[in-house]
Amino acid sequence: MTEVLTRKQEITQAAAELFQKKGYPSTSMRDLAAKVGLEPSSIYSHIKSKEDLLSDICMNCAFEFSKGMQWVLNTKSSPTVKLELLIDLHLKMAIDNPSSVTVFNDEWRFLSPDVKEEFLELRKSYESLFKNILLEGRESKRFSINNVDIVFELIIQTMTIFYKSAKKHPKEELKRQVTHFIKEAIRQKLEVRN
Amino acid sequence: MTEVLTRKQEITQAAAELFQKKGYPSTSMRDLAAKVGLEPSSIYSHIKSKEDLLSDICMNCAFEFSKGMQWVLNTKSSPTVKLELLIDLHLKMAIDNPSSVTVFNDEWRFLSPDVKEEFLELRKSYESLFKNILLEGRESKRFSINNVDIVFELIIQTMTIFYKSAKKHPKEELKRQVTHFIKEAIRQKLEVRN
DNA sequence: CCTACCGATCGGTAGG
DNA sequence: CCTACCGATCGGTAGG
């Protein structure tokens, strides 16, 4: 039973690596078969379609991010700490499964319409919860944020460095620099009274 | 004579829009032909190959960025002003030709090996000049930058918001927010003497 | 998990 | 700029 899961997971993992390297549309099932040492048609004993592989990878990441967000919210910590925990979450996702997260980020537009709709709903919910933390931080005078939508996107883009450069820099260094960069960018300057 | 150029440019522009929307590998010459109102084979009266379209788009952007960098360096202004001008440059590129810049950023990996090599050389040179400005700012105590390589990548990633969100926000608002975000992120905190 | 095979689509050419 | 067409490759199925 674990044997079946393992085989399918092995294929899915190999697919994630190929989708990352070559992109989803130009990865062929023959590429994938060669990578896992099977004949092309044999792949279909384990998975339903090429489309399903992409769905599995993207939706899995989406759920992991949602779960991570719930965990962060449950800590009931300050906006500053929540933001730090979210940076950790994005780093952890990138370190644990770099291929899947890259595919999740760059190849989701090739999802079939149905799955894409579900995917975008999850993402929208995640974005909304993230922005709430930024708003909370602004209202409590911890963050200096003029336009929450723009700053949210800036933070998200900033964190993509985790999987675009994960190999080039040590994990802890990356975490320190990114956290510092983001926190300084939105730091509330206290007025100095003379 | 301008007629010839115009027709080719029209096709290249249409290609950029399709490559952006569907990705290079899954854009077919039949898609492109339909978009410009020709039969598939007629495209080849104006361009040499699908590959050449991608090369034109990517290399053109690369040269424009290089030219922009030279212009900025020639101002011989302070690192702070140079950084602001580079942010303007990235914004201007994204506004003037959003499709091409997106393709330049996301689809260059599909360039043929020869062109890719040339492309990466141009990019490496651009990165090097950009980092020099950051170093200059750090040495003159204007920027607080711990790891130049990481901060460079953070800034570049930050600026991708220009073409990922150009439609969602007014240009001037985007420029103000992004410039503020980056400058605060690397701002040198002056020590306060009591 | 394999052999054999399918219809569809691809980038591109010949010839006018 | 079009008609006609090519070989290659695609995702996937039938049948065992």
Q: Which residue has 């975000």 as its token pair? A: B181
The model's pLDDT over A32-51, given as tens digits with 9 standing for 90+, comes to 999 999 999 999 999 999 99
Write out chain A residues lying below 8 Å of B177, CB-based.
Answer: 146-147, 150-151, 154
**pLDDT band, residue B194 (cuts 50/70/90):** very low
3-state secondary structure of B143: strand
Instruction: Tell me whether residues A153 and B161 touch, CB distance under 8 A.
Output: yes
Percent of chain A with pLDDT over 70: 95
Q: Mutation test of the interface with chain A: which of B22, B158, B175, B182, choosing the one with the most A Cβ atoms within 10 A? A: B158
In the chain, the amino acid numbered B131 is K
Nucleotides of D under 7 A from a protein CB: 1-5, 9-15
Q: Which residue of A has its CA nearest to B192?
A: A192
What residues contact B62, with CB distance under 8 A and at least 6 apart? B104, B119, B122, B123, B126
Q: By the CB < 8 Å criterion, does B124 face chain A?
A: no
The model's pLDDT over B134-169, given as tens digits with 9 standing for 90+, comes to 999 999 999 999 999 999 999 999 999 999 988 899
How far is Cα B72 from Cα B95, in angstroms, rounded to an integer?
A: 18
Write out chain B residues lying below 8 Å of A169, CB-based.
Answer: 147, 149-150
First-residue to last-residue Cα distance in chain B: 72
| The pair of three-digit structure tokens given for residue B107, joined into one six-digit string | 């689809």
What is the rounded average pLDDT of the residues B74-85? Answer: 98
- Of the candidates A86, A102, A133, the residue with the CA atom closest to the CA atom of residue A16: A102
Percent of chain A with pLDDT over 90: 91
- Cβ neighbour number for residue A79 with a 10 Å cutoff: 18
Q: How far is CA B71 from the centre of its chain?
A: 15
Please tell me the distance in Å from B22's CA to the nearest CA on chain A. 8
How far is Cα B108 from Cα B102, in angstroms, rounded to an integer?
A: 10
A:B CB pairs within 8 Å: 91
CA angle, A138 then A150 then A21, to 5°: 125
In the chain, the amino acid numbered A146 is N
What is the rounded average pLDDT of the residues A45-73? Answer: 98
- Cβ neighbour number for residue B57 with a 10 Å cutoff: 27
The model's pLDDT over B7-66, given as tens digits with 9 standing for 90+, comes to 899 999 999 999 999 999 999 999 999 999 999 999 999 999 999 999 999 999 999 999
